[in-house]
Amino acid sequence: MLRDSPRWSANIEVIKQRAMKEPGDGGIDLFGGLLGTIYFTFKRIINRIRHVYTRYL
């Protein structure tokens, strides 16, 4: 069901193209992007908490 959605297939195509363009780097690039997304999300949450915390202190 998930594999039939256009978004899923488009993501697979992008990953394939990236892997072909930079052989051996596709997996690392994908993993790095995922880590970056997680890192920035946590950073934003921590900044939000710190902002609220310092305001009410």
* pLDDT tens-digit map of 25-51: 555 566 667 777 888 889 899 998 888
Rounded to two decimals, what is the model's pTM?
A: 0.38
**How large is the average pLDDT for residues 7-22?**
65
What pLDDT is attached to residue 17? 67
Residue 24 maps to a domain: yes
For 14, the token pair is 């992008």
In the numeric block, the tokens 């970056």 are attached to 36
Residue 20 maps to a domain: yes
* Amino acid identity for residue 56 in this structure: Y
Residue 33 maps to a domain: yes
For 37, the token pair is 């997304």
Residue 13 maps to a domain: yes
Contact 44, 38 (CB under 8 A): no
Residue 12 maps to a domain: yes
Residue 50 maps to a domain: yes
Range of the domain at 27: 6-55
Half-sphere exposure of 7 (CA within 13 A, CB side): 2
Give the total number of structural domains in the chain: 1
Residue 1 maps to a domain: no
Confidence of residue 54 (pLDDT cuts 50, 70, 90): confident
Residue 40 maps to a domain: yes
Contact 21, 15 (CB under 8 A): no
